[in-house]
Amino acid sequence: MMSRTWVSGRAACVAIILLPLSVGPALAQSIEELRDMPITALSKLDVTSVTRSTASLADAPASIYVITHDDIVRSGTLTLPGILRLAPNLQVMRGGPNDTVVTARGLSGNDAAQNFSNKLLVLIDGRSVYSPLYSGVYWDMPDILPEDVERIEVISGPGATLWGSNAVNGVINIITRDAGASQGLYGTGVIGNRTYDLGLRYGGHASGTASYRLFVKRHENFESASGRDDGNRRTQGGFRFDWNSTPADALMVQGDGYFGSRSQGAAPDEHLHGYDLLTRWRHNMSSGGSLQLQAYYDHSARRIEKDGGRFALDTFDVEGQHSFTLGQSHAIVWGGGARLNRYVIKDIPGLAFVPDRRTLFVGNLFAQDSIAITPSLTGTIGAKLEQRTYVDLTFLPSVRLSWKPDATTLIWGAVSRAVRSPTPFDEDAVESIGQTVILTALSSFRSEKLTAYELGTRLIVSPGASLSVSGFYNVYDDLRTVEPAPGGFLPLRWGNGIKGDSYGLDAWADIRLANWWRLKPGYSLLVQKFRFKDGAVPLLGLSQVGNDPKHRATLRSSMDIRPQVKVDFDLRYVSALPDPHVPAYVELGARLGWQFDDRAELSVSGFNLLHRQHRELPASQAMPLGRSVFVALKCTI
pLDDT at 54: 81
Residues 6+ apart with CB under 8 A from 238: 214, 215, 254, 255, 256, 257
Cα(181)–Cα(454) distance, integer angstroms? 37
- Among candidates 259, 216, 217, which has minimal Cα distance to 239? 216
Q: Quick one: pLDDT band at residue 37, thresholds 50, 70, 90? A: low
Cα(401)–Cα(412) distance, integer angstroms? 6
Residues 6+ apart with CB under 8 A from 534: none
Q: Is the pLDDT of residue 17 over 70?
A: no
Q: Quick one: pLDDT band at residue 224, thresholds 50, 70, 90? A: low
Please report, as a single letter, which amino acid is at residue 33: E
pLDDT at 24: 35
- Among candidates 605, 584, 586, 603, which has minimal Cα distance to 595? 603
Distance between start and end Cα atoms, the chain? 53
Q: 118-174, pLDDT tens digit by residue?
A: 999 999 999 999 899 999 998 888 888 888 999 999 999 999 999 988 899 999 999
Q: Is the pLDDT of residue 28 over 50?
A: no
pLDDT at 78: 80
Q: Is the pLDDT of residue 308 over 80?
A: no
pLDDT at 36: 56
Q: 99-111, pLDDT tens digit by residue?
A: 889 999 999 988 8
Cα(73)–Cα(120) distance, integer angstroms? 25
User: Is there a contact between 224 and 258 (Cβ–Cβ < 8 Å)?
Assistant: no
Cα(101)–Cα(103) distance, integer angstroms? 7
Cα(306)–Cα(273) distance, integer angstroms? 17
pLDDT at 22: 32
- Long-range contacts at 215-218 (CB < 8 A, ≥ 24 apart): 215/145, 215/148, 215/239, 217/143, 217/145
Secondary structure element (H or E) that encloses residue 83, with its range: helix 80-84
pLDDT at 239: 96
DSSP state letters, 220-267:
EEEEEETTEEEEEEEEEEEEEEEEEEETTEEEEEEEEEEEEEEEETTE
SS3 202: strand
Q: Quick one: pLDDT band at residue 251, thresholds 50, 70, 90? A: very high
Cα(86)–Cα(77) distance, integer angstroms? 10
Which of the 8 DSSP states describes residue 18?
-
- Residues above pLDDT 90, as percent of the chain: 67
Cα(1)–Cα(107) distance, integer angstroms? 20
Q: Is the pLDDT of residue 2 over 60?
A: no
CA of residue 83 relative to chain centroid, distance: 10
pLDDT at 526: 98
pLDDT at 31: 46
Cα(143)–Cα(221) distance, integer angstroms? 14
> CA dihedral in degrees (155, 158, 161, 162; nearest 10)?
20
Question: Which of the residue ranges 94-98, 248-252, 402-406, 456-460 would you say has the lowest mean pLDDT?
Answer: 94-98
Radius of gyration of the chain (CA): 24
Cα(14)–Cα(626) distance, integer angstroms? 10
- Among candidates 179, 182, 185, 143, which has minimal Cα distance to 276? 143
Please report, as a single letter, which amino acid is at residue 186: Y
Q: 585-621, pLDDT tens digit by residue?
A: 999 999 999 999 989 999 999 999 999 999 999 988 8
Cα(302)–Cα(255) distance, integer angstroms? 19
Using CB atoms within 10 Å of the CB of residue 392, give its burial: 0 to 12 exposed, 13 to 18 middle, 19+ buried: exposed
- 0.85 exceeded by pTM: yes
Residues 6+ apart with CB under 8 A from 351: 2, 3, 6, 309, 429, 430, 431, 432
Count CB atoms within 10 A of the CB of residue 101. Answer: 30
User: Is there a contact between 78 and 197 (Cβ–Cβ < 8 Å)?
Assistant: yes
Q: Quick one: pLDDT band at residue 26, thresholds 50, 70, 90? A: very low
> Could you confirm whether domain 25-636 is CATH 3.40.50.920?
no
- Among candidates 115, 120, 116, which has minimal Cα distance to 104? 120
SS3 29: helix
- Among candidates 198, 217, 192, which has minimal Cα distance to 604? 192
- Residues above pLDDT 70, as percent of the chain: 91
DSSP state letters, 129-169:
-S-TTTSS--TTS----GGGEEEEEEEES--HHHH-TT-SS
* Residue length of the chain: 637
- Mean pLDDT (the chain) is 88
Cα(84)–Cα(338) distance, integer angstroms? 29
Q: Quick one: pLDDT band at residue 557, thresholds 50, 70, 90? A: very high
Q: Quick one: pLDDT band at residue 263, thresholds 50, 70, 90? A: confident
pLDDT at 435: 86
Higher pLDDT, 51 or 611: 611
**pLDDT (mean) for 23-36:** 42
pLDDT at 529: 96
- Among candidates 126, 189, 191, which has minimal Cα distance to 163? 126
Compute the Cα dihedral for 354, 496, 313, 266 and give only its sign. Answer: negative
Q: Quick one: pLDDT band at residue 211, thresholds 50, 70, 90? A: very high
Cα(173)–Cα(49) distance, integer angstroms? 7
